[in-house]
Structure 1
Amino acid sequence: MPDSSISKFFEKSRKERLDTVANFANLSNDDLSVLENDCGGILFEQADKMVENAIGTFSLPLGIATNFRINGKDYLIPMVIEEPSVIAAASKGAKIARIKGGFEVSADESYSIGQIQVLDVDVKSASEQINSSSKEILELANSKSNTLSKMNKGAKDVYCKELDTPSGKMLIVELLIDVGDAMGANVTNTMCESVAPLIEQITGGRVLLRILSNYSTRRMVKAKAVFEKESVGGEQVVDNVILAYEFADNDVYRAVTHNKGIMNGTIAVANAVGQDSRAIEAAANAYAASSGMYRSLSKWSKDENGNLVGILEIPLSVGIVGGIANVHPIAKICTKILGVSSAKELACVMTATGLAQNYSAIRALATEGIQKGHMRLHARNLASAAGANSEQIDEIVKKMIRDNNISLNKAKELLERS
């Protein structure tokens, strides 16, 4: 079985890193050529087909997080993010979790929720009519996707809810759709639009909106890991991490930053494999506020042996078929590096990465502070911004760290002296 615990991966040259990843994921020479191409994976001609009014492309760094063991399987995790320290932190968190077996993650089936807004009806009576016609509605919805129907997936249930708004009462008809390994937005929207005329006919009302909900509460993912007490830093550090979590869980200002750290991990993987990061973050933030107060997405405690235990549960709608994931060359290769065979497996990997990142961030905050490690990595960006070339950067970084002054002005000063 491939081993994701790679010693000093960060010290290897680019070629050595690529060779390591290629051997781990059985990448082809064509795959390596795409990764080695510094255009970011797509040419303008491709970008022009993806969005309107295209004028160019925009690249972000693609890195690899190591040490991950999830449900007994090793992964190298591709991450696309511009922020320094995130990939290193995720790798460090995974390394500590690995001591106790890694991450245990479970995911719901891939159910998407579609919503049809019905106006100008008696909600109670219309709901009864919808419920009695649910079989007909489901049959019509499923007729719009032969692929899902052949896989015994597709629309599975219809239910109703009442909203009391300033404009009056509304009936919301919801479709529950098993979308398999797709994110499911297109098929969900298609089914909602297809059944809208039938729902108008059944209820005598007027349908307005017909669209999926990105609040994917029927696609929950739960990750858990045990972090050995001694490796965390001892009993006092474990207790401090828990106190830091309790701060986040009870103060919205802290919770937002705490959850942003979780998303640093989860969204960096989403970016790498072509997922809808805006939908993922919107759903996670809604879930963080589901109790009526915006709180920590993760939970931290200790077990009977004093080890630190982290749990992260989030709604997560992802796919490995359809969408940009099957169009963008880099996204396709990153999915190949991950080696995931289902949307559920991808969701498990992304949630584990979020938990690993959260561990490293909250431990750093509870000990030395976040800036020490972050600013050391940020020093390279500052040296580059000051105008240093590739041969000068390492020396300037060493001197900034030596002088305990990591700033753009210091980088410029050192560059002028060199």
Structure 2
Amino acid sequence: MAGSTEGRSSRIEGFYRRSLEDRIGIISEWAGLTCEETAVLAESIGAEQADKMVENVVGRFSMPLGIGANFLIDGRDYLIPMAVEEPSVVAGASSAALLARAGVGFKTGCTDPIMIAQIQLLDVADASKAKRAILASQEKILACADTSPTISQLGGGPQGMEVRYLPDTEAGPMLIVHLFIDCRDAMGANAANTAAEAAAPLIEQISGGRAGLRILSNLSDRRRAWAEVEIAAKAFDSNDYSGREVIRGIAEANAFAIADPYRATTHNKGIFNGVDAVLLATGNDWRAVEAGAHAWAARGGQYRALTDWHVRGCGDSETLHGRLELPLAVGTVGGATRSHASAQIALKILGLDVDGQEEFSTESGGSAGDAGAESGLQGARRLSQIVAAVGLAQNLAALRALATTGIQKGHMRLHARQVAVAAGARGEAVERIAGQLIAEGSIRLERAKELLRM
């Protein structure tokens, strides 16, 4: 099928050195794009379509769409569409993915796509009695919250509920009802909000309270994805550093981010350089995912690193093991994934089923609630696993640089091109001026303008 990765490799030698036209041709062949779809890579959406997506439109704001290469995820090759303006992000992810191939690539998993719809209850006379009454009426409440026939037909819909008591808030005590909604391939904001609004009157009647807010929570901690990787120390060997030195440095850097929230903030920002780029390319709500993940990072009372990197084994058998787990509410149907042509192309490049059909295989002994490498997922859950792998790769690239040459060397080399363009360089002059700035070790706009005048 178009977009399938079976029998192909994402290891494309010298992909970054190819011309723009060559790279587009490779991606078009990889994803089985039509001529019209290939044109979308350059043109994206028109002004008329943009005017239908948001309010007060006056134009369009374009961003580069790069391809993260070399990704081997659960034994399958992927080329990763990444919409990002920051230099070195795509290169870093691709480099780390190549390192991961020295092992078995990335292994991933995810939970069922459960979103939380919250209903705030105020003026409840007896909180304990109301909580018992609400839980005793669970079946009736969930039936009332079952508002999407399409999602229900696909095996989703309301799955359960819980009641939380907040005894001491500035507005007095509150009961908070959580409805657990399986949203299948949708991100689920509309489904969760509709379910909360539909169930609120019945919950008011049962509890004797007054319903306040009825809305989803973006802390989707029941909808998580994770990625793991293990790489032999020798894969990190270079002329300047031994692999064992590098992986120890990576583990020490991660320990710093676990212990210190100031470092953790920058550490996690680097993860989202990759996560957000894929979310944006596929038309997903990166703001919601970031909000939930940052809350997840602070769930123990202190903001910490989202990743865990540590060294296993000893001597020549040492390996670096990394894991990233975070809430990831993403969709492959609805919203911008349907209305934005570039998002549909990005999903096609990933080989995902944009029609929302999911497959699930339990041949490996897995269950639908804990999907792993052999799950056969093709929709939103598979996308969440891919995103987690990209986030882990991005973090590995950053920590490797920090543990060796420092983050600026590679970043500024790529930044030099942006400076050349800002100075007015075009065509071949961009690379010429960027190369001179790098050689001089002075990547400044003023110097780029001087070189352009020479």
Partner of 1:291: 300
2:95 to 92, 95, 115: 92
Partner of 2:107: 104
Task: Spell out structure 1 runs of 4+ moving beyond 3 A.
Answer: none
| Cα drift, residue 145 of structure 1 | 1.1
Q: Distance in 1 between matches of 2:436 and 2:151?
A: 60
Q: Distance in 1 between matches of 2:145 and 2:390?
A: 36
| SS of residue in 2 equivalent to 1:58 | coil
Partner of 2:281: 272
| SS of residue in 2 equivalent to 1:161 | strand
Partner of 1:25: 31
| SS of residue in 2 equivalent to 1:57 | coil
Contact 1:96–1:228 (CA<8 Å) still a contact in 2?
no
Partner of 1:214: 218
Q: Distance in 1 between matches of 2:33 and 2:232?
A: 34
Q: Distance in 2 between matches of 1:64 and 1:392?
A: 24
The runs of 5 or more residues in structure 2 that have no matched partner are 1-6, 238-242, 353-377
1:401 aligns with 2:404: no
Q: Distance in 1 between matches of 2:48 and 2:34?
A: 24
Which segment is superposed worse, 267-276 or 200-209?
200-209
| Cα drift, residue 36 of structure 1 | 2.8
1:58 to 56, 61, 66: 61
| Cα drift, residue 391 of structure 1 | 2.7
Q: Distance in 2 between matches of 1:212 and 1:241?
A: 37
1:319 aligns with 2:331: yes
| SS of residue in 2 equivalent to 1:99 | coil
Q: Distance in 2 between matches of 1:149 and 1:312?
A: 31
1:226 to 223, 230, 246: 230
Partner of 2:264: 255
Q: How many residues are aligned here?
A: 413
Contact 1:145–1:187 (CA<8 Å) still a contact in 2?
yes
Partner of 1:2: 8
| SS of residue in 2 equivalent to 1:402 | helix
Aligned partner letter, 1:241 = I
Q: Distance in 1 between matches of 2:380 and 2:397?
A: 26
Q: Distance in 1 between matches of 2:50 and 2:296?
A: 33
| SS of residue in 2 equivalent to 1:18 | helix
Partner of 2:350: 338
| Cα drift, residue 228 of structure 1 | 2.3
Partner of 1:246: 255
Give per-residue Cα distances to partners, 1:341-365, cap 9 Å, x unaligned. 2111000000000000100101101
Partner of 2:322: 310
- Alignment TM-score, normalising by the size of structure 1: 0.97
Partner of 1:181: 185
| SS of residue in 2 equivalent to 1:192 | helix
Aligned partner letter, 2:349 = I
Contact 1:163–1:172 (CA<8 Å) still a contact in 2?
yes
The runs of 5 or more residues in structure 1 that have no matched partner are none
Q: Distance in 2 between matches of 1:392 and 1:338?
A: 34
Which segment is superposed worse, 93-102 or 149-158?
149-158
Partner of 2:362: none
Which segment is superposed worse, 385-394 or 76-85?
385-394
Q: Distance in 2 between matches of 1:351 and 1:416?
A: 46
| Cα drift, residue 59 of structure 1 | 0.6
Identity of matched residues, %? 48
Partner of 2:141: 137
| SS of residue in 1 equivalent to 2:38 | helix
Partner of 1:193: 197
1:13 to 19, 27, 44: 19
Q: Distance in 1 between matches of 2:48 and 2:151?
A: 32
| Cα drift, residue 416 of structure 1 | 2.1
Partner of 1:45: 48
